Every structure is written in C-alpha cells, then in structure tokens.
Amino acid sequence: MKVLLVGAGAREHAIAEQVSKGAKLYSIMPKKHPGIAKLSEEFLIHDPTDASVVAQWAKSRSIEVAFVSPDALLADGVTDTFAEVGIPVASPTKKAARIEWDKGYARSLMQRNEIPGCPALKICSSLEEAKDALKEIGAIVVKPLGLTGGKGVRIQGEHLNSEEEVLAYCAELLEKDGNVLLEEKLEGEEFTLQAFCDGNSLSLMPPVQDHKRAFEGDSGPNTGGMGSYSTGALLPFLEQKDLDAAKSIMEAVLSAMRDEGSPFTGVLYGQFIATKAGIKVIEFNARFGDPEAMNVLSLLKTPLPQLFLSMSKGELVPAEFSPDCTVVKYAVPEGYPEKGKADELIMVNEQKIWDLGAKLYFGSVYQTEKGIFTSTSRTAAAVAHAQKLSEAEKAVEGALSCISGPLWHRKDIGTQELVKRRIAHIRSLRT
C-alpha cells in the first residue's frame, strides 16, 4: 500500500514512523526533514500548497491514501488538492477544517446545535463591543479567531494584568483581524481527546495532558505545547464520567458537521477543561495534537495505514492501544517562544536514546551536509512509554541529555509532583 504524508515536524515524524511500519511511505515537505526523509520510499521537497505540482506528483506515484497533517496546510485546502484528482484522503477538507481555523465557526456550531460545554463568549468587531463584553462576562480570555500556532491566546490575570492591557490587546487584534473573541476564563484541568473520524463515526485515542505554558509550574507565555503525558485509558485527575462527557461532545460535533454539510474525515482534536461546573470545551483542532500525537501513536496497535484507508472510505475500523503510560518532552531553542535561536548546530546520540528505550522525533530543524540545525520553533521531542509514568519520565530525561546544542526543556512534565498537583487542584475545585 502507498500512503502519502504531507508535513514535516516531530508529529509528522511519528506519523511517518507508524505509516512506514505497514505501508510504503511517500512524503511531501517544504524542507528536508532528516527523520521523515529516511523513512520515505520517495520524498518531494516542495511547497505543499503548490497544488498542480503536488497533485501531479502524488497521482504519478499511484498513492492510495493521503494524509495532510499540519493546521496551516489544512486551512489552505491541501487535502482538497488531492481529493480533486481522485486520491482518497484521510484528512479534513478546507471546509471541515474550519472547526480549527475559525474559532467563531466552532463556537457558533456548538451554540446552534445546543452542544454542551461552551463557555460564555462574545465575538466583537469594535472596542466598544469588547468593553461591553468585559462587563458582561467578568474575567476573560482574549483570542484571535484564526490560526496562531497556539500562541495568540492571552488570559486576564496571567498575561493581561489590567483592564487597560486587555483592551490594548483587543485593539491590536481588531486592527489586525477586524474581530476578536472574548471568552469566560475557565478554571480547571485541561486534557486532550483525539479521535479518528470517517465523517460519521469516531474511534477515540487515550486522553493526554499537554503543557501549553513555556515554563515550569505552568507560568509564562503560551507555546505550541512543551510536552505531554498519558496514563492509559484515563488521566489521574479525571473520572470516567468526565471522559464520557467529552466523548459525547465530540460525537455531537461530528453529527452536527455531517448534518450541516461539512462531514469531518480526519483526526478530530478536542481540547477540554474539567471544571467545577463539568466538562467545557477550550477549542477543537482538525488534526493530531503536537505533542499529543506522539503519546498516542507510541501506543497504537492497529496499523495506521489501515486506519487511514478506512477513514477515507467512510468505513472506520476501531483503533486499539496498549495501556502503557507515556511522556513526551520538547527540547526547544534558547529564546523560545519569543525568539527561538535558529541556525544552531545540534548533535544527537541516537544509539544511546534507543538504548534507554526512548525515541526522538525531530521538529523544527533542517539538515545540510554540515549537520542538523535549529529553526526558531520546537526542535525535537523525546518520547517514551512504560508501565509506570515515572519510568517513562526517566527515560525521556535520559534521552534529552543525549542532544547537545543551545536547547532547553520543561523538567516538570510527567513527574509525580506535577501529577499530584493536578489531582489536588481538581479536588479543591470539586469539593
């Protein structure tokens, strides 16, 4: 079987690895990714949004199913490029990916269809409206409506410390985009639930907790995600009823999208928060999470090519996972997320990482004849799974010590101390 993967980060490196276990991997990437290139039968280094070139390339290789991975390419309609030339696709069309690239659409879809889990919110197109929303909603979160690589959200009391700062950020977004989303600030513990979808039904992956804040103790600016952990079928701070509530919200979204003429085929990503008032939705994405993809894919037992093919046909097969715990931590360049230091040489002792029972996936790097170099974003993710969370965490720390270069990572992710804090936090909210 021939599978095409479009995209080239750490998440795609993990997807490529799973695909190449059960099929011939073909890949399209804007720059040479050292890991994906090595796994590919053949690769094309080209701008994936150049429709005529990539469609022709895929067609001439008789690709049986294509998977477009990154948000920006989904928003650009790269899935549609392949669908239009008759190649089956396991990723969402531009229309369906709107659930991610337009937060206003995602919220109004929920409201129109009375899907539970929406916080109080208002989409504003003037500063006057924003001022009114502040009065109505109370403590708020300011969000751009479009894609920002996870870095556009600012929270009152954390990133915005006075009403003036809130309004100044609203004014900045209004000037840039013409609108801004203001939402009730929710308090609780966040978790990610991802599902394979075929337009009609879904198959869930294990829940994962990501860490969006840059620094230890969940402080600092938002990032694309510094690392994540999972502990089998349930996270330590969740109850089964929380997971059931999140699942039924995702099923309702899938049905609503189908009924409204935008059936969703691909990986649906729900970012949820367990609050005092139950499960609420932070956002939806139209793709695997990065880093969360690496947690779940390291446990996947069902061959990924088989899943992709079944999704593209609307005949989803259920996905099965091993029950281990997983930890992922990203090594990021000095200066990240404000201004990650690019073009720095990194050295990796891959053999030693293997010996530790861990894996390394390259993120925002490029390769020349001189070696592997950083770009401004997250450099490489170390991943491990084990029966105990502490074992996986230790293996990941060991793996990160096998990379040299001007990089840093969050040491607290996946530690017992952090997990205990999560449990105590939920208890304090719910009692």
Binding site for ligand GLY (CB under 6 A): 150, 210, 225, 285, 289-290, 292
Measured from the CB atom, the residue of 225 and 333 that comes closer to ligand GLY is 225
199: partner contacted, choices ligand GLY, ligand AMP, none (Cβ within 5-8 A by kind) = none
User: Measured on CA atoms in the order 271, 75, 2, 19, is the torsion positive or negative?
Assistant: negative
Q: What tokens were used for 279?
A: 């499960």
Strand 380-386 to 359-362 pairing: antiparallel
| Residue 188 interacting partner from ligand AMP, ligand GLY, none (CB closer than 5 to 8 Å by kind) | none
Q: What are phi and psi of 380, to 5 degrees?
A: -155, 145
Q: Choose among ligand AMP, ligand GLY, none what residue 183 binds, the Cβ cut-off being 5 to 8 Å by kind.
A: ligand AMP
Picked from ligand GLY, ligand AMP, none, the partner binding residue 190 (CB below 5 to 8 A depending on kind) is ligand AMP
Helix axis angle for 389-400 and 416-430, nearest 10°, is 130
Name which of ligand GLY, ligand AMP, none residue 289 binds, using a CB cut-off of 5 to 8 Å depending on partner kind.
ligand GLY
Q: Are 287 and 269 in contact (CB under 8 A)?
A: yes
* CB atoms closer than 10 angstroms to residue 342: 15
CB of 101 to ligand AMP, least distance (A): 12
Find which of ligand AMP, ligand GLY, none residue 153 binds, CB within 5 to 8 Å per kind: ligand AMP
The sign of the torsion formed by the CA atoms of 333, 192, 402, 7 equals negative
Query: Among ligand AMP, ligand GLY, none, what does residue 290 contact (CB within 5–8 Å per kind)?
Result: ligand GLY
Axis crossing angle, helix 304-313 with helix 10-22, rounded to the nearest 10: 90
Is residue 337 reached through a cis peptide bond, with omega within 30 degrees of 0 on the bond before it?
A: yes
Q: Please, which residue, 290 or 397, has the CB nearer to ligand GLY?
A: 290
- Comparing CB distances to ligand GLY, the nearer of 80 and 290 is 290
CB of 158 or CB of 251, closer to ligand AMP:
158
Q: Please, which residue, 150 or 270, has the CB nearer to ligand GLY? A: 150
Q: How far is the CB of 161 from ligand GLY (least distance, A)?
A: 25
**Nearest distance in Å: CB 155, ligand AMP:** 6
State the minimum distance, in angstroms, from the CB of residue 13 to ligand AMP.
22
Cβ at position 51, least distance to ligand GLY in Å: 25
Interacting residues of 352 by C-beta distance below 8 A, sequence separation 6+: 402
First to last CA, the chain: 53
Alpha helices in 337-430 (DSSP H): 350-355, 389-400, 416-430
Separation between Cα atoms, residue 223 and residue 252, nearest integer Å: 29
Tell me the sheet residues that pair with 380: 331, 362
Under the rule (CB under 6 A), what is the footprint of ligand AMP?
A: 119, 141, 150, 153, 155, 183-186, 190, 212, 222, 271, 282-283
Residue nearest to ligand GLY (CB): 225
CB 297 within 8 A of CB 15: yes
Q: Are strands 188-198 and 202-204 parallel, antiparallel or unpaired?
A: antiparallel
Distance in Å, CB of 71 to ligand AMP, minimum: 11
- Report in angstroms how near the CB of residue 363 gets to ligand GLY at its nearest: 12
Least distance between ligand GLY and beta carbon 208 (Å): 9
